[in-house]
Amino acid sequence: MNTFTHTRNLPAAPSAIFAAIQDPARLARWWGPNGFSNRFEVFEFQPGGRWIFDMVGPDGKVYPNESVFVNIEADRQVVIQHVCQPHFTLTITLAPTTEGTLVQWEQVFDDAAVAEAVRHIVAPANEQNLDRLSTEVCPANQGKSD
């Protein structure tokens, strides 16, 4: 299996969540697992746009990243292709609900063997990403999971 799918119901409108994705200052605050920070070098939030940044771990280790925005539909979906190792496509889908938004976070690795090798990191990291997004868009919620 090379796909990791996580969902979260957030008590915020899709537009509020999309705003936290499209604004590089806000995205840098919540992107990545707990304890990580981000330094964005290039952030071209448009289809075909580049996103080049470093994630900095809690130990100070720097993880260079390069991605391309494949598809962007305001308040609905963002598709990001991670073009450096490990190669994957991340699709963030926002579906309105009566109580806010259902966020679906689907990460598909190009290579099933790579996905299996990083499963122990990716699964909890994706949940932490959603926790941090939740805190960014609805601080009173403090990242409660479903």
Query: How many Cβ atoms sit within 10 Å of the Cβ of residue 64?
Result: 11
Q: Does residue 146 lie in a domain region? A: no
Residue-level pLDDT at 90 = 99
pLDDT band, residue 95 (cuts 50/70/90): very high
pTM: 0.93
Residue-level pLDDT at 143 = 45
Give the range of the structural domain holding residue 54, as residue numbers without chain letter. Answer: 3-141
Query: How many Cβ atoms sit within 10 Å of the Cβ of residue 50?
Result: 14
Q: Does residue 112 lie in a domain region? A: yes
Number of domains in the chain: 1
Start-to-end C-alpha separation, the chain: 23
Q: What is the pLDDT of residues 42-71, one digit of tens each?
A: 999 999 999 999 999 999 999 999 999 999
Q: Does residue 84 lie in a domain region? A: yes
Alpha carbons 80 and 88: distance in angstroms, whole number? 8
Alpha carbons 10 and 139: distance in angstroms, whole number? 11
